[in-house]
Structure 1
Amino acid sequence: MNSLIIQLLASEKLNGDNYSAWKSNLNTILIVDDLRFVLSEECPQAPASNANRTVREAYDRWVKANEKACVYILASMSDVLAKKHESLATAKEIIDSLREMFGQLSWSLRHEAIKHIYTKRMKEGTSVREHVLDMMMYFNIAKVNGGPIDEANQVSFILQSLPKSFIPFETNVSLNKIEFNLTTLLNEL
């Protein structure tokens, strides 16, 4: 495991109250390490002894990815939860069990994230970087729970949430028809 993954795993250990943030971190890790497919794809059948190389490699890849995903998941939760789930064979079984224990209905999480996005206002004098990163986290929560918001609308929500001291910036963007993606917006702000 590289140090970035270890930091992410340690930063948000699942304890039950933080399921949504934990799931978001875990999804990031699984995507970065190209392991997320084990949550949606069934394990290929164990190859016969005379199976061709491609079939054996597909099976081996899935098994190795599942083992790694299981280690990441178990390492990112409290000891009690890890002990309870260590006997499960697949990462999908662990995630399904955790969803049953802690997961609200996805519409509820999506609703809360979108409500936060609509009502969030940056306070004058606070860090614009922290504000934008917070908004981006809620965009991700909405997306993970079935409510993706395209990047152009994300930029609009962020601009709309800024305090009055940013009116000259917003006016310049509007008058000059400047289009930002999230990265360029963050850098410009």
Structure 2
Amino acid sequence: MSIISLRSILDANKLSGNNFNDWYQNLRSVLMHEKLIDVIDKPANVAPQKGESNASALDAYAKYFEQSTTTKCIILASMSPELHRQNESMTPAHIIAHVKKMYESESRTSIHRISKSSFKIRI
């Protein structure tokens, strides 16, 4: 059985700023395919307290930590080197929030500007 990797989509379309919406859509597709989307969509698991010996809590956290690390690597690898350096010390959810804050409104503004100029041309 061959495994299809969608990660090449992110390699070909690294986040550089002006392509945020496309990059984010591609990132979500890759994370859904790899069953990692919950890492950025749901609250983070809290590490068990020192001395807590609940095996299921430890196993759940270990699984979350592994998924979080993989997700972070996928996100950082799909960014320009400058963005990678700026975000490498954050968790996956924080990276997404930071990048959204930086580029989402900028992207919407440029789309609005393009739409506005195309309507002017029609008239």
Bin for the TM-score computed over the shorter chain: 0.7 to 0.9
Aligned to 2:25: 24
1:72-131 deviation digits (Å, cap 9, x = unpaired): 00000100110111111x1000000000000139xx59x98xx9xxxxxxxxxxxxxxxx
Question: Which runs of 5 or more residues in structure 1 are unaligned?
Answer: 116-189
Per chain length, whose mean CA-contact separation is higher, i.e. which structure has more relative contact order (CA < 8 Å, sep 6+)?
2
Aligned to 1:100: 101
Q: 8 Å contact 1:43–1:63 — kept in the other structure?
A: no
Identity of aligned residues (%): 27
Larger Cα-atom Rg: 1
Q: TM-score, normalised by structure 2?
A: 0.76
Q: CA RMSD in A?
A: 2.5
The alignment partner of 1:4 has SS state of coil
The alignment partner of 2:79 has SS state of coil
Shift of 1:3: 7.0
Q: TM-score, normalised by structure 1?
A: 0.51
Aligned length: 109
Of 61, 64, 67, 1:65 maps to: 67
- Give the Cα separation in 1 of the matches to 2:63 and 2:29: 20
Q: 8 Å contact 1:47–1:56 — kept in the other structure?
A: yes
1:122-166 deviation digits (Å, cap 9, x = unpaired): xxxxxxxxxxxxxxxxxxxxxxxxxxxxxxxxxxxxxxxxxxxxx
Q: 8 Å contact 2:10–2:27 — kept in the other structure?
A: yes
Question: Which runs of 5 or more residues in structure 2 are unaligned?
Answer: 116-123
